[in-house]
Amino acid sequence: MQGVLTRCDDARLQTRDFHAQANLLVASLLSRRESFFKKMEEFYDRSGHA
C-alpha cells in the first residue's frame, strides 16, 4: 500500500493507456473496499490484537 501511495504521483505514469488501465483497476478495488475492510477487521479481532 505504501508503494502505491508514493508512486501515484510519478511523472512517468502519465500516458493515456496507463490512466485507462489504472482507472479500471481502482474502480474495481473501490467497489470492494467495504467488504475488504470488514474482513480485515474480523481477522484483526480473531488474531487477539497481538
What mean pLDDT is predicted for residues 7-35? 90
Residue 8 — pLDDT band, cuts 50, 70, 90?
confident
The three three-digit cell numbers of residue 36, written as one number: 475488504
The three three-digit cell numbers of residue 33, written as one number: 473496499
Check residue 3 and give its pLDDT: 82
Number of separate helices (H) and strands (E) present in the chain? 3, 0
- Rounded alpha-carbon distances, angstroms, from residue 49 to 21, 43, 44: 37, 10, 6
Q: What is the percentage of the chain residues whose pLDDT exceeds 70?
A: 96
* 26-50 tens-digit pLDDT: 999 999 999 999 999 999 999 986 6
Ranges of each domain in the chain: 16-50
